[in-house]
Amino acid sequence: MSDEKIHIAPTSSEYDVIVSGNGLDCVGQYLAPLLPSRNVHIISDSNVATLYLERLRSSLAMQSIQSTCTVFPAGEASKNLATLSDILEDMAVSEVTRSSTAIALGGGVTGDMAGLAAALYMRGIPYVQIPTTLLAMVDSSVGGKCAVDLAAGKNLAGAFLQPLFVFADIATLRTLPDEVFADGCAEVIKHAVLADPELFGILAERPINKNDDDLYLMTVIATNIGIKRRFVEADEREQGQRKLLNLGHSIGHAVEAASGYTMGHGHAVAIGLTAIARASERLGWAEEGIAERIEAVVAAHGLPTRSPYPAEDLIGFARLDKKADGTGITLAIPESVGSPVLKHVSMYGFERIIELGIGA
Ligand SMILES: NC(=O)c1ccc[n+]([C@@H]2O[C@H](COP(=O)([O-])OP(=O)(O)OC[C@H]3O[C@@H](n4cnc5c(N)ncnc54)[C@H](O)[C@@H]3O)[C@@H](O)[C@H]2O)c1
Ligand SMILES: [Zn+2]
């Protein structure tokens, strides 16, 4: 089956995203003409490295691309300055030069850290994303946001750096734990609610799973990348319309924090998405029945629709949200499927919205 190519052209640079049916063994052929030199430094986590690192390195070696690597312990708990420092030190010891390229092989945690390492190392080297989770394929590997967590909160130290190239081999999704695949489904559903009523209808009829046929998975993933592309191209640095991509995230972040970051990002976003739909409908900001429709699609993908934490706990965490400014917070509201709007609400207003969305 032929690969899908999506060209992304934000203001600062442009690059291709390839969605492939089983292409990890050929990725070297794609990369060879793009790299400034035949030296790369691969960054991966312990789970993904066990599964895919050697295949990637052989594919690179076939094109005479030399690779060095840093492998860090898998999990969000590693997405911090200490791991970033280890990666940078490793790059220096491995004699990575200004003309080398960093490669992120893994999920969103790996991509976010590798991107930031590439932004910092020698004041910036190119990097390539090889996403291996659904979330990373449809969301985090595209758009150039990269960050690590601080003790005070998630993604608080970061940068914008667009990748040189993104290569998604959907065959890697088959080894994902079901829960991790479901995390990515939350972002897929979010994209459909934001921008694609047809995709929303398809997902309602035929929820995706990691063992779906290649054609179906590739089509859904490529469609999602196309949706993300539109937001990133319109507003690379999230000054306006890109904020719509935060649909479900303001409440979702509070849920994630309330769980002590033990709940997967997508699971928290699923709760946030259904909560904001419920609250919007109750306030008369969204069309009747939208909350029920979104809940059905979320549940069909094995994701939660109700918060295990009470509204008062979430309000406590929402007050700490970094996206809040002195006057309140900008929320994405799903007026109907395919037409979201941004609304600025006071913190008091946001707290009432959490109560409306989380309450029975
Ligand atoms: N930069 C952005 O725009 C952006 C957008 C959304 C999310 N994010 C970030 O992404 C992160 C979440 O990403 P994630 O859900 O991919 O988490 P992750 O990278 O931690 O991956 C989840 C788990 O799956 C394992 N895994 C990855 N690929 C695998 C495979 N093919 N087979 C088997 N196991 C595999 C990993 O080892 C890990 O244990 C969060 O830190 C979030 O803040 C960033
Ligand atoms: Zn997200």
Q: Which atom of ligand 1 is nearest to the CA of 52?
A: 31
For the CA of 110, the closest atom of ligand 1 is: 19
Q: How many CA atoms lie within 13 A of 51 on its CB side?
A: 18
Element (H, E) at 261: none
By CB atoms closer than 10 A (0-12, 13-18, 19+), residue 151 is exposed
Write the residue with the smallest CA distance to atom 16 of ligand 1. Answer: 107
Instruction: Give the residues surrounding ligand 1 with Cβ less than 6 Å away.
Output: 45, 47-48, 51, 74-76, 79, 106-110, 112, 132-133, 135-136, 139-140, 143, 145-146, 154-155, 172, 175-176, 180, 183, 265
| Residue recorded with tokens 């594919």 | 59
- pLDDT tens digits, residue range 165-193? 999 999 999 999 999 999 999 999 999 99
Q: Which domains are present in the chain? A: 4-175 (3.40.50.1970), 178-358 (1.20.1090.10)
Q: What is the pLDDT of residue 12?
A: 85
What's the rounded Cα separation, in Å, for the pair 46 and 155? Answer: 21
Active site members: 123, 145, 187, 228, 238, 242, 246, 249, 253, 265
The token pair at 305 is 């629709």
* Residue showing tokens 């179906």: 216
Residue 156, Cβ neighbours under 10 Å: how many? 12
- Amino acid identity of 314? L
In degrees and rounded to multiples of 5, residue 306 shows phi and psi of -125, 145
pLDDT single digits (tens) 8-64? 999 889 999 999 998 899 999 999 999 999 999 999 999 999 999 999 999 999 999
Closest C-alpha residue for ligand 1 atom 33: 176
Q: Which helix (H) or strand (E) holds 351?
A: helix 347-358
At 135-172, the pLDDT tens digits run 999 999 999 999 999 988 889 999 999 999 999 999 99
Four-residue CA torsion sign, 87, 91, 92, 98:
negative
Q: By percentage, how much of the chain surpasses pLDDT 70?
A: 99
Q: pTM here?
A: 0.96
Q: What does the alpha-carbon distance between residue 103 and residue 109 come to, in Å, rounded to a whole number?
A: 13
Kindly give the distance from the C-alpha atom of residue 266 to the centroid of ligand 1, in angstroms, as a whole number.
Answer: 10
3-state class of 342 per DSSP? strand
Is residue 360 predicted with pLDDT exceeding 80? no
What span, in angstroms and rounded, lies between the C-alpha atoms of 42 and 29?
A: 16
**Which one of 50, 52, 78, 109 would you pick to mutate in the ligand 1 pocket, going by the greatest count of ligand atoms within 8 A of its CB?**
109
pLDDT in tens, 232-286: 998 888 888 899 999 999 999 999 999 999 999 999 999 999 999 999 999 999 9
CA–CA gap between residue 302 and residue 294 (Å, rounded): 13
- What percentage of the chain's residues is helix, strand, coil (to nearest 5)? 50, 20, 30
Nearest-atom index, ligand 1, CA of 142:
3
Which ranges constitute the DSSP H helices of 169-213? 178-195, 197-205
